[in-house]
Copies of this chain bind each other. A is one copy, B any other.
Amino acid sequence: MPLLDLRTDPVDLTAALVDIPSVSGEEAVIADAVESALRAQAPHLEVVRNGDAVLARTSLGRPSRVVLAGHLDTVPVNDNLPGKRTGDGAGEVLHGLGTVDMKGGDAVFLHLAATLPEPRHDVTFVFYDCEEVEAVRNGLGRIERELPEWLGGDLAIVGEPSNAVIEAGCQGTMRIELRTAGTRAHTARAWMGSNAIHALAEPLRRLTAYEPRVVEIDGLTYREGLQAVRIGGGVSGNVVPDAALLAVNHRFAPDRSPEQAEQHLREVFDGFDVTVVDSSPGALPGLGEPAAAELVAAAGGEVAAKLGWTDVARFAALGMPAVNFGPGDPTLAHTRQEHVAAAEIRRVAKVLGAFLSS
């Protein structure tokens, strides 16, 4: 099992976490490393293991509690592991899968866990699995069902990449499957059959013609999206196929509920067989909440709209103020070129360290 030094520079710790591969569903090794490091190097914390999630908390009797949550998993490897470092000083950069999404945030939280034995607020750390896949597998959802008392608090900070700026709210996400049906026949006599792959031409045309909304809420700008994420069909090389499938991911601004988003997609794909396979609501910015506003101030007052869906929405649904705050440019997440400025990791560590110890 890799050994992690939680007291080291959070940039070094990020690099160490990046080099432990942890594609969704394969987080056992990184979870073991995080658990054993917390037990050995943060003895002031109560630590529990839940599947491939690791939870830790103080119980100092403080009047308020802050939850710091980060997922340990990544999207599939794309020629971008192991990580590497370039530059130095202000120009130092970490490259590789997870540098942005979101081992920089995890490293900051782990560093705070080991180095702040007496925080101003009680703190709960949640390192969890399967954020990058279907909502039903999400480790935070499992914790919500199995260990709900661990998620309560007065403010949640999700360490997803936000350019080291507070990001408020998040967009909802919905995955649908559109299925076409046909009739099999030999391709030499195609007029006897009906081609289910050809029947995808029209839904693909609608997708390419789709104009996503741009929505303003509380002065923040949310930009929606509608993207095919999977297509499949075919029987064999000389058979007109009788079934095909198009999976689509919709990202919707938090002024719409999942029900409204589903209604919208049913209108877009009117006439086709559409099934919702996965859905997570967005979260309104919630900047009026005192604890959120206090953190925004501590970070210098800058705030932006969160476009990606993050588990901020889960905490919002629990009735807690919740924001995103983590190192890394979210537009680089899930790309082969994923990389983060070391300075952003240090900035997040500094702001949160000040917020929790002041």
Contacts and interface: CB of A to CB of B under 8 A. Distances in A.
Nearest to A207: B198
Given A308-B189, A331-B189, A237 B229 contact: yes
Contacts of A335: 183-186, 192-193
A190 B236 contact: no
A333 to B, nearest CB: 5
Contact of A334 (B185, B307, B333): B185
Contacts of A133: 236-237
Interface string A232-272: 11111111110010110101000000000000000000000
Contact of A225 (B187, B207, B227, B334): B187
A195 B234 CA distance: 21
Main secondary structure on chain A at its contact with chain B? Answer: mixed
A287 interface: no
Contacts of A1: none
A78 B204 CA distance: 28
Pick the most buried of A132, A231, A235, A249: most chain B CB atoms within 10 A of its CB: A231
B228 A197 contact: yes
Given A184-B336, A204-B201, A231-B233, A249 B238 contact: yes
B231 A247 contact: no
Interface in A170-220: 171, 173, 175, 183-193, 195, 197-198, 200-201, 204-205, 207-208
Given A207-B201, A228-B198, A188 B251 contact: yes
Given A204-B200, A251-B188, A229 B225 contact: no
Contacts of A238: 75, 132, 173, 229, 249, 334
A223 interface: yes
A139 to B, nearest CB: 16
Nearest to A131: B238
B208 A204 contact: no
B227 A230 contact: no
A228 B243 CA distance: 12
A333 B251 CA distance: 44
B232 A234 contact: yes
A187 B249 contact: yes
Given A134-B237, A183-B335, A205-B205, 8 more contacts: A76-B235, A133-B236, A185-B335, A189-B225, A189-B331, A228-B233, A232-B234, A237-B249
